[in-house]
Amino acid sequence: MAENFLKWDPNLYGVNIATMDAEHKQLVEYMNQLHTNVENKASKAILQKSLTDLFNYTLKHFKDEEELFKKIPNYSFKNAHVKIHEDLIAKLKTYAATFEKTGTFPPDFFVFLKVWLTAHIAGIDMKYSNALYNKAA
């Protein structure tokens, strides 16, 4: 079996909030599933299903995260974070539209997913965790 595209590492990506860590892990699984299906040259229908799974789970996760922000009153980066989520969704929609038209993903699509994990989850999401635990955000 091929090595997973993205490897979940709690030491690198964990935000020390069980619900969010579980959701991030699931998100990475959907990213890996899509990558595996592309590698295996799966049918357009299967790829579409993987993309929809990732997209829907992203919407759910961002909504859950933004609900959590309401419980962290000292999280000053809140509005900027919501804006970053909106931008990620917009980018994902652009890739989805390209896929719809061409049946393929541009080469930078998987770079985008990787950056999402390494920069957003490990970087931006860590900010609300720090605010929750009253560390410098």
Applying CB under 5 A, what is the total number of residues that bind Fe ion? Answer: 2
CB of 93 to Fe ion, least distance (A): 17
Stretch touching Fe ion by CB under 5 A, among 49-57, 90-98, 106-114, 125-133: 125-133
Residue 21 lies near Fe ion (rule: CB under 5 A): no
How far is 108 from 115, CA to CA, in rounded Å?
10
Euclidean distance between CA atoms 67 and 35, whole angstroms: 29
Give the whole-angstrom CA distance, residue 125 versus residue 38: 28
Decide whether 8 or 47 has the Cβ nearer to Fe ion. Answer: 8
Q: State the Cα–Cα distance between residues 73 and 75, nearest whole angstrom.
A: 5
Q: Which stretch binds Fe ion (CB under 5 A): 44-52, 61-69, 92-100, 109-117?
A: 61-69
Q: Cβ atoms within 10 A of the Cβ of 54, count?
A: 19
Q: Which of 125, 127, 129, 130 binds Fe ion (CB under 5 A)?
A: 125
The residue number whose beta carbon is nearest to Fe ion equals 125
Q: Which is nearer to Fe ion, 46 or 124 (CB)?
A: 124
Cα radius of gyration (the chain) = 16
Stretch that binds Fe ion, among 4-12, 58-66, 72-80, 89-97 (CB under 5 A): 58-66
Backbone angles phi, psi at 107, to 5 degrees: -55, -30
User: Which residues contribute to the site for Fe ion (CB under 5 A)?
Assistant: 65, 125
